[in-house]
Amino acid sequence: MVKIGIFDSGIGGLSILREIAKLRLGIEMFYFADSLNNPYGQKDDSFVIARCEFIVETLEAKGANLIVVACNTATAIAIDHLREKYPHLVFVGVEPYINVINQRPELKTRRGVVLATPLTGNSKRFKALKERLDPNNLLDVFTPIHLAKLIEDNFFNKSHAFEFDVKKELLGLSNDYDYLILGCTHYPLIKPQLLSFLKGEMISPCPMVAMRVKNLLLGKFGMTEGDASATNFAFYQSGVSSDFKTLNIDEVFI
């Protein structure tokens, strides 16, 4: 059985793991949430690279030879380094799905906004990406300050004030947008809540990342499509776990 590793500075990358699981491939998945050091955007590059190396080596020790860097910051800072240092492994990164406006021409006549963390939205990499993929400035950008942290802290045990706090984070965001690009892997985890506050179509990069993983598995790794369903995965959370533990996807995403 092929084994893949997925990691993020927290639990946001579970949104990508869920999409990979939907592909019904016979794979074993390991997820590393580096919550002890969340968020990476407040750390210097050398620290992020060192953590990524440690996590990659941890996942490789579990048998993973395809690794998804399910974090915008880690992808921006470390993925080129990881590919150079570990050429025997295959890496898939993630970035805000701005390119959807070039893949779906009908969106160019509609109002759209990218929801991103302040760290991503203000980064040089994001601004360069937007300038390249959105030269006519069709997309607005909205950066809720605490939304990703709220999701990180409440995903497994939501507080009574969670929905109120989410709504407060969205104050100032117009409800006139036709579509919203979810530019942080944490955001798809609360898509139902977002849909209750906002009327636009929610566009996530997670299905595209999962399809990239599938194409690599079918091509580079020689897998064949079947009906095997990955219902369990191994989960580790730094600062919380002592070792990987088995979780059921259906129970995690109730």
Q: Do domains 2-94+206-252 and 100-203 have the same CATH topology?
A: yes
Give the pLDDT band (50/70/90) at residue 231. confident
Phi-psi region of 179 (alpha: psi -120 to 50; beta: other; left: phi over 0): beta
* Per-residue exposure over 241-254, b if at least 16 CB sit within 10 Å of its own CB, e if not: eeebeebebeebee
In the prediction, which pLDDT does 229 show? 61
pLDDT single digits (tens) 136-166: 999 999 999 999 999 999 998 888 899 999 9
Give the pLDDT band (50/70/90) at residue 254. low
Helices in the chain by DSSP H: which ranges? 14-22, 45-61, 72-85, 100-103, 118-121, 124-133, 147-154, 162-169, 191-197, 206-219, 249-252
- The answer to whether residue 71 is catalytic is yes
Domain spans in the chain, listed from the N-terminal domain onward: 2-94+206-252, 100-203
Average pLDDT over residues 32-40: 92
The candidate with the shortest Cα–Cα distance to 235, out of 249, 224, 221, 223, is 249
In the prediction, which pLDDT does 3 show? 93
pLDDT value at 189 more than 90: yes
Distance, CA of 124 to CA of 114 (rounded, Å): 16
Amino acid at 246: T
In the prediction, which pLDDT does 220 show? 84
Burial status of residue 189 (CB atoms within 10 A of its CB: 0-12, 13-18, 19 or more) = buried
The better pLDDT of the pair 179, 23 is held by: 179
Query: Which one of 29, 113, 184, 217 is the catalytic residue?
Result: 184
Q: 100-203 — its CATH code?
A: 3.40.50.1860
Work out the angle between the directed axes of helices 72-85 and 45-61 (0-180°, nearest 10).
60
pLDDT single digits (tens) 193-222: 899 889 899 999 999 999 999 999 988 888
Query: Which one of 20, 69, 71, 198 is the catalytic residue?
Result: 71
pLDDT single digits (tens) 83-121: 999 999 999 999 889 999 999 999 989 999 999 998 888
Average pLDDT over residues 182-197: 92
The better pLDDT of the pair 100, 1 is held by: 100
pTM of the model: 0.91
pLDDT value at 122 more than 90: no
Q: In what order do the strands lie in the sheet with 201-203?
A: 139-142, 112-115, 179-182, 201-203
pLDDT mean across residues, the chain? 91
In the prediction, which pLDDT does 14 show? 96
2-94+206-252 placed in CATH 1.25.40.10:
no
Amino acid at 16: I
In the prediction, which pLDDT does 225 show? 72
Give the pLDDT band (50/70/90) at residue 40. confident
